[in-house]
Structure 1
Amino acid sequence: MNNHPPFTSMGSVAIHAAHALSAAHAHLTPIFATSTFTFDSAGQGMARFSGNEPGYIYSRFGNPTITAAEEVIAALEAFNLTDDVGNPLQLKALLHASGQSAMATMFLSLLSADDTVLSHYSLYGGTHEFVYGFLPQYNINALIADLRDLNAVENIIQQTPTLKVIHLETPANPMMQCFDIESICKLAKQYNILVTVDNTFATPYLQQPFKYGADFVFHSTTKFLNGHGTSIGGVLVGKDISFMRTKAYNTYKLLGGTSSPFDAYLLIQGMKTLELRMEAHCSNAMRVAQFLQDHPAVAQVNYAGLPSHPDAATVQKQMRLPGAVLSFELKEGLEGGKRFIDKLNMCVRAVSLGTVDTLISHPASMSHSGMLREDRYKAGITDGLIRMSVGLENINDILQDLSNALA
C-alpha cells in the first residue's frame, strides 16, 4: 500500500489505498492485460515459484491490477480497526471472478469431509444451493437454524462436535434479516468455531464484521463495491494471514476462479465513490420503505431501517446505515406482483443489486428459483415477494414510478 498518513474516512481509503504499480508514474492503476510475466534469469524464475522472491508469475496466480483491488478492499474492511494487541488490523484479500467463486474458496479451504457448517434460513439462493446441495455430496454436513436464537445455536454447537463454521449473511437476502455478529462470534469462540460473514449487502462502509470478531468475510464485488453493474467479481478477506497465503490461496489458485485484470480495474474505479453512493442509496431506500409501508396495496415491507423491523436493535448496533435493499409483499400476492413489475416505467426489471439504477426482481422465480418451494417458504420467500435494490435516481422519480405501478 502507498505510504499515506492515517485516513479519517473510508472515502479517502477507497481513492488512495491502491498499490503503487507503475514505474511510469501512471495517475490511475493500469490494466495489466497479460497472461504471464517474464523472469530476468532461470534463478529468478525458480525463486519466484519457490516463494523465496516476491513477484508475479502467471495471472491466475496474481496480477498487479488484481493486487491493487485486493489492497483497497482489505484496507476498507480494516479501516480504524486494531488486532488483539492494539496494532492496526492486517487483512489479506483474494479477488475472484465472482462472489460464488469467493464463497467456494472460503468453504472448501475451511471444511473437509465429516465437518459441519451451520447457517440460517434466509440466504442468497446460490449460497443455499452450495451449502445445502453441493457440500453434502462431499460428506460435508450442513445445518440450518434461526441464528438470532443464541440458546438454540449453543444447543446445536454442544450437540454437534463436528461443527467447524458458522456462516452469516447479514442483512440476509431477500428478507433483510440481520444477525448479531458480535454475540455469535463470542459464542463461537468459546467452542473454537470459525465465523464467516457475507458482507455484500452492507459493504465495509456500512458494516465491518472484523470489528465484531468475524474470521472471514466475503463479498460479491459485482454489487455495491463495483456499483455500476459493469463486471462480475467476488472477494474473500481473512485476518489469519498465514492461512490466507497458504490454504486459502492454494484453493483459490487450483479452483481457477481468479478475477480478470479488466474486471479488477472496473472494481477499483467503482470503489472510489463507495462512500458517496452508499449514503445516497440508503437515503433513498429509507424514503422508499416509508412510502411502501404506508401504501394500501402493500401487506409487508422488509427493510432493516424501519423501526418495525424485528432486528432493528441489531442494525443500530453494528451498521452505520441500514442499507439499500428491501423486499415487500403486495396484498394481491403473486398476481399483484406480476402486474406491479410489468407496469414499471423507470425502475429496471433485473436480478442483481447495488447498481446506480433501481433494480426490481421476483426472488421466487429468479434469484431463489433453485430452492425447493418448502425451503423458500421457511425462509419467508413467498411466491409474491418483490425485492428492490434502491438506486441513485432522484427520489421523487422513484416514488412516482412505484406509485404508478401500484395504482
Structure 2
Amino acid sequence: MSSNAKQPEAEFQDTPHDREELGFATRTIHHGFDPAAFSNAVQPPVFLTSTYGFASVAANEAEAALGGRLYAREHNPTTEILERRLANIEGAEAGLVVASGMAAFGALTLSLLSQGDELIVHRTLYSNTVAMVEQALPRFGIKVVPVDLAEPANLDAAITERTRLVYFETPVNPLSAVLDIAAITERAHAHGVQVAVDSTFASPALQRPIEHGADIVLHSLTKYINGHGDALSGALLGDAETLHKLHETGLRYITGAAISPLASFLILRGLKTLTLRMERHSASALAVARMLEEHPAVAWVSYPFLDSHPGHAIARKQMSNGSGMLAFGLHAGFEGARRMMDRLGLITRAVSLGDADSLICHPASLTRARQPIRKDAHMVEGVGEDLIRLSVGLENQEDVIADLRQAIEAS
C-alpha cells in the first residue's frame, strides 16, 4: 500500500495528549488530535472533501480491502477526531457521529434490530423518539414494549427471548425524572440483553452510563456537547464491535446520515468548554429550581439535585451535578403557563436545549398546534398540560430568576 493510503492511519495513532491519566477537562480539549500531524495547526482542520484520491489503482484497492477512506459519507478526518474524543471522555471503546440525535437513534435501532425482534423502552421518551417507536419500527416488524423503568423489576416480566435491546433516557425528557442505570442494566444483562442510554440531558461531564454498566450511550450533540445552538449532530458510543456494526450498516447504507465536517468542527470547539459550561448550567438551574419551589404560584418542580426530587438519591449516585434542565408547573395550569411564557423578556421561547441562551417551552401548546397537521400528535405518558420545560443558560442566574419571577407574578 502506498504512503498515501497509509496516511489516515498515521494521523490517528495515539498522541501525547491521549494519556488516560489526564483529567476530563484536559481530554475534552486535546484527546485524539496531534497538531504535529496536521502542519502544526492548533485547531483541527475542516476537511471539506466528498471523496479521496489515491496514488495508484493498487493503493485504492488496498484501502478498500482494509475498510479505509474511500468516500466522505463513511470517513472524514475532522469527524474522526470528534469520534475519538467523545469515546474517550465517555469511557467507550469507539464512537460514531452522525447528522442528528434522531439519526443516531435510527442507526442504533435499524442496525441492531430485525423483523421479529423486541425493543423495550421507558414509557416516557423524547417526542420524536416516541414517533419512531410507535410508527416507524412496527412497520418493519419490530415490536416495541413500553415499560415503567422507574421500577427496574418491571423488566423481569417484560423481557422475552426476542428482546434484543433496552433503551431509555436519564434524566428523562421533558420531566427531568431520573432512572437507575446500574439497576436496569443489571436486570437486562441477567437476560443477555444490551442496554442503550440517552444521556443528552447530562452530557459526559456529569454522567457516564458505561461506568454504571450500560453498553451504548446516545447523545444529541446538538445540545450540551455543542452548547451553542449552531450545529446538529448525534453520537453513539460503546464497544468497538457494536460501533463497527453501527458504522458499517447504520451509517454506510441504512441511514447514510453523515454529519457535515463543519458541524464536526463546531462541536469540537464547543466540547472544549463543556466542563465549565456544565458547572455554570448546573449551579444556575439549582438556584432557579429552589426559587420556583418556594414560589406560591408554582405547583411542582422537578430538578434532579433538589432534595424533593423522587430520584434525588439515584441522581447523586450517577451524576456529578444536576445539569441545566428542569420542569415545573403552575397552579394556574395550561392557560397560566401560556400567560407566564408570553410575559418573559429575557428567556427565549424556543424548543431545544443546552444552549448558552436560556430556552423555555410548553409541550402541551406545541402538541395542540401540531394536531391539525399531524393527527397522531399527542402528549407522551407522564407529561401533563401544565408542564413547562426550562433549559437554564449561561446568563447571570439572578437575571434568569428575575425574569421568571416577574412573569409568574404578572400572570
With structure 2 as the length reference, what TM-score do the two structures score? Answer: 0.91
Task: Give me the whole-angstrom Cα distance separating, in 1, the residues matched to 2:395 and 2:178.
Answer: 26
Alignment equivalent of 1:154, drawn from 153, 156, 165: 156
What residue number does 1:376 align with?
Answer: 379
Give the residue type in structure 2 aligned to 1:76: I
- Partner SS state of residue 120, structure 2: strand
Return the match for 1:401 from 397, 403, 406. Answer: 403
CA drift of 1:201 comes to 0.5
Return the alpha-carbon distance in structure 2 between the equivalents of residues 247 and 6 of structure 1.
Answer: 26
**Is 1:264 the counterpart of 2:264 in the alignment?**
yes
Asked whether 1:77 is paired with 2:77, we answer no
Residue type of the alignment partner of 1:73: L
SS for the counterpart of 1:402 is helix
Call closer, same or farther: CA 1:246–1:382 in 2, change over 3 Å. Answer: closer
Q: In the alignment, is residue 48 of structure 1 matched against residue 36 of structure 2?
A: no
1:19 matched residue in structure 2? 33
Match of 2:4 in 1: none
The 2-side partners of 1:246 and 1:40 are apart by: 29
Corresponding residue to 1:121 among 120, 123, 129: 123
Q: How does 1:187-336 map to 2 (within 5 A)?
A: 187-239=187-239, 241-254=240-253, 255-336=255-336
Gaps of 5+ in 1: 79-89
After TM superposition, give the deviation of residue 187 of structure 1 in Å: 0.9
The reply on whether 1:97 has 2:80 as its aligned counterpart is no
| Aligned 8 A contact 1:285 1:324 in 2 | yes
Residue aligned with 1:25, SS: coil
Q: Evaluate the alpha carbon distance shift between residue 247 and residue 282 of structure 1 in structure 2; reply closer, same or farther with a 3 A threshold.
A: closer
Distance in 2, Cα, partners of 1:174 & 1:69: 27
1:162 CA drift (Å): 1.1
Cα deviation for residue 390 of structure 1 reads: 0.4
Moved more, 382-391 or 366-375: 366-375
CA distance in structure 2 between the aligned counterparts of 1:350 and 1:220, rounded to whole angstroms? 17
**Does the CA contact (< 8 Å) of 2:76 and 2:261 recur in 1?**
yes
After superposition, the C-alpha distances for 1:244-281 in whole angstroms (9 at most, x for unaligned) are 22354322111110111000000000000000000010
**In the alignment, which residue of structure 2 is the partner of 1:66?**
79
Counterpart Cα distance in 2 of 1:166 and 1:196? 6
State the match for 1:30 in structure 2.
Answer: 45
- Please tell me whether the aligned partners of residues 122 and 177 of structure 1 are also in contact (alpha carbons under 8 angstroms): no
- Mean Cα displacement is larger for which, 259-268 or 139-148? 139-148
Q: Is the 8 A contact 1:124 1:367 kept in 2?
A: no
Post-superposition offset of 1:375: 6.3
What residue is the counterpart of 1:84 in the other structure?
A: none
CA distance in 2, matches of 1:166, 1:220: 18
Q: CA deviation at 1:385?
A: 1.2
Match for 1:205: what amino acid? A
The CA RMSD measured in Å over matched residues stands at 1.8
CA contact (8 A) 2:299 2:330 kept: yes
Q: Deviations over 1:184-234 (max 9, x none)?
A: 111111110010000101111111111111111110000000000010000
1:163-193 deviations in Å (ceiling 9; x for gaps): 1111010000011111111111111111100
Residue pair 1:117, 1:167 contacting (<8 A) in 2 also: yes
CA contact (8 A) 1:18 1:29 kept: no
Q: Which residue of 1 aligns with 2:168?
A: 168
Give 1:69's aligned amino acid: L
Deviation of the 1:364 alpha carbon: 2.4
Distance 2:83 2:163 in 1: 30
Letter in 2 for 1:393: E
Aligned equivalents of 1:45, 1:236: Cα separation in 2 = 29
What secondary structure sits across from 1:155 in the alignment? helix
Q: Aligned partners of 1:284 and 1:367: how far apart in 2?
A: 29
TM-score normalised by the chain length of structure 1? 0.92
Deviations 1:134-166 (A, max 9, x none): 101111000111112122221112xx2211111
Residue in 2 that maps onto 1:390? 392
Change in CA separation of 1:171 and 1:247 when aligned onto 2, cut-off 3 Å: closer
Structure 2's unaligned 5+ residue stretches are 1-13
Instruction: Return closer, same or farther for 1:374/1:161 CA change in 2, 3 Å cut-off.
Output: farther
* Distance (whole Å) between structure 1 residues aligned to residue 375 and residue 166 of structure 2: 23
Identity score, percent: 37
Check conservation: 1:19, 1:67, Cα contact below 8 A: no
Q: Distance in 2 between the 1:167 and 1:373 partners?
A: 23
CA 1:6–1:162: 2 relative to 1, 3 Å: closer
Q: Structure 1 residues 285 and 23, CA, compared in 2 at 3 Å: closer, same or farther? A: closer
Aligned to 1:81: none
Secondary structure of 1:299's aligned partner: strand
Q: Which amino acid aligns with 2:406?
A: N
Instruction: State the SS of the aligned residue for 2:299.
Output: strand
Aligned pairs for 1:129-144 (under 5 A) are 129-144=131-146
